[in-house]
Amino acid sequence: MRRCGSGILDTIAALLGTGILDASGRLHPEAPQALPDDLRRRVITLPDGLTAFVLVRAADTTTGADILLTQADIRQVQLAKGAIRSGIDMLQRLTGTPNDRLAELMLAGGFGNYLNIPNAIRIGLIPHLPVERVSYVGNAAGLGAQMAVISESERRRADEIARTVRHVSLATHPDFQDVFLKIWM
């Protein structure tokens, strides 16, 4: 089962593939003619003049209203994606680790656990890596805490990591804004 956030990312990736959404994140009011009519009719113009994509038609909802993905929704996803990807890129920059030297990218937490990896790569949320180098680790913090509680050697390992890790405040790093703007634009 997909969660809402990861489902929105999947939708955006699919809309990119159809041409309804362009690489800048703009929904096109005129869907490509090559698409099936039912899909083309899901692209609508709202009363305020903005474009939206109908995810679920009113007749199929319990509220009797369309469920829409609006241009504003897409902009919010772009901001979140920009922040996440900027953090990844900053860490790679600070550690001197380009994509070809990145052995593994681990996705943690509830959101990361439900991401469709090819779609996350397609929309630029994570670096363009071979899919086999991206893995899910679930609740990494909870698992780490459990391991530290039940294992003396894991507790020592956690202490060693804590002594050697370097904290970097990405949002206040002087290069963060430049990296974020590069990804956003």
Q: What is the pLDDT of residues 101-146, one digit of tens each?
A: 999 999 998 888 889 999 999 999 999 999 999 999 989 999 999 9
**CA nearest to 41, candidates 58, 49, 29:** 29
Instruction: Tell me the residue type at 143.
Output: L
Structure tokens at 95: 């550690």
- Residue 125's pLDDT is 94
The per-residue pLDDT for 2 is: 47
Q: What is the 3-state secondary structure (H, E, C) of 58-69?
A: HHHCCCCCCEEE
CA angle 37, 52, 28 (to 5 degrees): 65
pLDDT for res 171: 80
Upper half-sphere CA count for residue 7 (Cβ side, 13 Å): 6
The CA distance from 97 to 83, in Å, is 19
- From residue 76, alpha-carbon distances to 5, 18, 183 in Å are 11, 21, 14
Up-side HSE of residue 64: CA atoms within 13 Å toward CB? Answer: 0
CA nearest to 39, candidates 23, 22, 60, 17? 17
pLDDT recorded at residue 1: 40
Phi/psi for 106 (5° steps) reads -105, 130
The pLDDT tens digits along the chain (185 residues) read 445 778 899 999 999 999 999 989 999 888 788 889 999 999 999 999 999 999 999 999 999 999 999 999 999 999 999 989 999 999 999 999 999 999 999 999 888 888 999 999 999 999 999 999 999 998 999 999 999 999 999 999 999 999 999 888 888 888 888 888 877 65
183 in Cβ contact with 86 (< 8 Å)? yes
